[in-house]
Amino acid sequence: MKSVRALGAFSGGLDGMLASRVLIDQGIHVEAVTFDSPFFDVQAGETAATALGIKWHTVDFTSEIMALLFDPPSGFGKNMNPCIDCHAAMFRKLKEIAAREGFDFIFSGEVVGQRPMSQNRGSLNRVKNISRTGDILLRPLSARILDPTPIEEAGLVDRERLLDLNGRGRTKQLEMAREYGFSHIPSPGGGCLLTDPGYSNRLRVLKEVGLLSGDNARMIRFGRMFLLNGAVGLVGRSAAENDKMLHADTGIQLAIRDIPGPLGIILGKKTEKNITLLNAIMVSYTKAQEQVTVISNQGETFTAERIDSAERDKYSIML
């Protein structure tokens, strides 16, 4: 008999692992997809899939999530997280893959009531409706307190062996993880940068100056951030950060010559005013009291002197 095949949205969190395991226990072939974007590190998904022994895939989700950051139809959560539309976009994508690759249904580790905005009963229904995945989407962890799905009605899964989890607590999930003998139990939190208040603040600034792009969103994970004139400046905080910024290949790079100092990057307008300002900010993080030389990755050389720290802080965007 042909085995039933299910494809899950998989961040690498405990709920996704348990949802997968519940299906595997029914003899269903399970594979997992982690959506890659500037805001989400897929490593956790790989670790969790390896721990479960299931086949793991990544799908580039950058263009979908970036589009949602401009004007999400269902709005933002507490920070820059458009969770409802983001879930819907992921499920749409999973549905496409499932049709192409011969999966019988898609699933997620969502639990009714777990997140006040994006995982209450109304939001789960909205996600299902706007993604048009009601025919193919299963939420194994809360299935028994939700309406039966066509997947259950068709007998592809046994509803009686699905779960009835409800609410924010993790006690039941941790108990199940112990019973299953999981050697890897992910910590709660999700790991999406869009739910982080400091990072969201940076992203808002990027959006306000018209610089919201996938590459720039990745860049602002690093360095101290400054709002220049219609541009954004980044200044490395450590040798490791300077190194990551150096290899990012985005924006105009500025480096202090002859003495130790941070790397600077300008995203956006490369005007003389902005270069002078960022150079001065960079010098303020060195011991230099005299003028120093700064070179750019475009072969230019500048003379720079430090800005007073109180003046510098007026341009600072805190993380």
In the complex, the residues that contact ligand SF4 under the rule CB under 6 A are 40, 81-83, 86-87, 190, 192, 194-195
Q: Which is nearer to ligand SF4, 190 or 251 (CB)?
A: 190
Q: Which is nearer to ligand SF4, 112 or 277 (CB)?
A: 112
Q: Which is nearer to ligand SF4, 121 or 257 (CB)?
A: 121
Q: Are 281 and 305 in contact (CB under 8 A)?
A: no
Q: Which is nearer to ligand SF4, 193 or 211 (CB)?
A: 193
Residue of 39, 28, 33, 37 whose CA lies nearest to 12: 33
Backbone angles phi, psi at 84, to 5 degrees: -65, -50
Residue of 112, 60, 117 whose CA lies nearest to 89: 60
> How crowded is the C-beta side of 46, counted as CA atoms within 13 Å?
7
The dihedral built from the CA positions of residue 211, 213, 217 and 219, taken in this order, carries a sign that is negative
Round to whole Å and give the CA distance between 208 and 206: 6
Shortest approach of ligand SF4 to residue 29 CB, angstroms? 25
Shortest approach of ligand SF4 to residue 191 CB, angstroms? 8
Q: Which is nearer to ligand SF4, 28 or 194 (CB)?
A: 194
The amino acid present at 293, given as its one-letter code, is T
DSSP, collapsed to helix, strand or coil, labels residue 142 as: coil
Tokens of 203: 């992203």
Shortest approach of ligand SF4 to residue 65 CB, angstroms? 7
Shortest approach of ligand SF4 to residue 166 CB, angstroms? 20
Please state, as a whole number, how many other Cβ atoms lie within 10 Å of the Cβ of residue 308: 10
Q: Are 93 and 59 in contact (CB under 8 A)?
A: yes
- Would you call 220 exposed, middle or buried from its count of C-beta atoms within 10 A (0-12, 13-18, 19+)? buried
Q: Which is nearer to ligand SF4, 76 or 180 (CB)?
A: 76
Shortest approach of ligand SF4 to residue 150 CB, angstroms? 24
Shortest approach of ligand SF4 to residue 72 CB, angstroms? 9
